[in-house]
């Protein structure tokens, strides 16, 4: 299976989940989405990750983002594990977990890396836009938990830059200054960015974040 690249249409699939059958594209609707895999149920790092996602769901919803998890375990296993997540993480799992026992989705999204493990999924993350195109892919090893603050930061950048002619510099956070994209001529900046700008170099123009009052 070829790797999924940025800008590709996220492959559609139908699968069973803890919240019933999901047709992925229909389930996304007009929302953005995060599809993320975890190596196995009843594992320590994954338990903390899914608990964190449950706590962050309101932040994802503010950004019109739906989240769905996946592992190669079955529905019964998922439901039992959810009880543990709720108990140990002090939360309530409030998003679907896909049961991918036949590894159909895992293979479709190239989530199994045989040199890491021949059966279990790595920690894959796919951020998908409302146009169903893949905007971000990150792959973590099984031993390293994900940083969901970073995923929120990236989504803020992706959504900002999708609608405004800016890019976000290193370590940018929502509210920080942005970079004017090279395609915008310097003489056009005052009209497009009325908050003003600073020219550090002809190719490096800084402007306040345009979608903030």
Question: Residue 196's domain is classified under what CATH number?
Answer: 3.30.1020.10
Taking the C-alpha atoms of 78, 80, 83 and 84 in order, what is their torsion angle to the nearest 10 degrees?
A: -90
- 133 and 29 in a common domain: yes
Residue with tokens 């892919």, as numbered in its chain: 137
Domain shared by 23 and 93, yes or no: yes
**Residues 190 and 123 grouped into a single domain:** no
**pLDDT tens per residue across span 125-168:** 999 999 999 999 998 888 889 999 999 999 999 999 999 999 99
Residue-level pLDDT at 110:
82
Among the options 4, 35, 46, 67, which is catalytic?
46
Are 119 and 173 found together in one domain?
A: no
Q: Does 178 qualify as catalytic in the annotation?
A: no
pLDDT digits (tens, 9 = 90+) for 5-53: 899 999 999 999 999 999 999 999 999 999 998 888 899 999 999 999 9
Q: Domain for residue 152, yes or no?
A: no
Of 117, 146, 175, the residue at which a domain comes to its end is 146
User: Does 190 lie in the same domain as 132?
Assistant: no
* Within-domain flag for 184: yes
Same domain, 95 and 52: yes
Cα–Cα dist 65/127, whole Å = 9
Same domain? For 137 and 184 the reply is no
Q: For residue 114, is pLDDT > 80? A: no
Last residue of a domain, one of 146, 178, 199: 146
pLDDT tens for 54-71 read 999 999 999 999 999 998
pLDDT at 173 over 60: yes
**What own/partner pairs with CB < 8 Å and gap ≥ 24 does 160-168 have?**
160/209, 160/210, 160/211, 162/129, 163/211, 164/210, 164/211, 165/192, 166/207, 166/209, 166/210
pLDDT band at 111 (very low <50, low <70, confident <90, very high): confident
In this prediction, residue 113 carries a pLDDT of 59
Res. 105: pLDDT tops 60: yes
The confidence score (pLDDT) of residue 2 equals 59
The arithmetic mean of pLDDT across residues 94-105, rounded, is 91
Same-domain status, 31 and 93: yes
In this predicted structure, the answer to whether residue 117 has a pLDDT above a threshold of 60 is no
> 123: domain CATH number?
3.40.30.10
Domain of 193, in residue numbers: 164-207
Residue 3 lies in a domain: no
Task: Name the domain count of the chain.
Answer: 2
- Asked if residue 158 is part of any domain, the answer here is no
DSSP state of 186: G
CA dihedral 53, 95, 78, 128 (to 10 degrees): -80
Q: Same domain for 130 and 175?
A: no
């Amino acid at each position: 299976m070829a790797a999924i690249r940025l800008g590709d249409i996220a492959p559609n699939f139908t699968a069973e989940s803890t919240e019933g059958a999901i047709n992925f594209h229909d389930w996304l609707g007009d929302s953005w989405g995060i599809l993320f895999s975890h190596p196995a149920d009843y594992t320590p790092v994954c338990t903390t990750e899914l608990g964190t996602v449950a706590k962050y769901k309101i932040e994802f919803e503010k950004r019109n983002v739906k989240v769905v998890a996946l592992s190669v375990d079955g529905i019964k296993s998922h439901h039992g594990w959810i009880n543990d997540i709720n108990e140990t993480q002090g939360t309530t799992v409030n998003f679907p977990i896909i049961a991918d026992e036949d590894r159909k989705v895992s293979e479709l999204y190239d989530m199994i890396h045989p040199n890491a493990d021949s059966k279990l999924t790595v920690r894959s993350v796919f951020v998908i836009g409302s146009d169903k195109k893949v905007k971000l892919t990150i792959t973590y090893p099984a031993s390293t938990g994900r940083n969901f603050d970073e995923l929120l930061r990236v989504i803020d950048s992706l959504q900002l830059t999708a609608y405004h002619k800016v890019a976000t510099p290193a370590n940018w956070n929502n509210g920080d200054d942005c970079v004017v994209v090279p395609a915008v001529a310097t003489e056009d900046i005052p009209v497009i960015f009325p908050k003003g700008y600073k020219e550090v170099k002809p190719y490096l123009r800084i402007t306040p974040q345009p979608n903030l009052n």
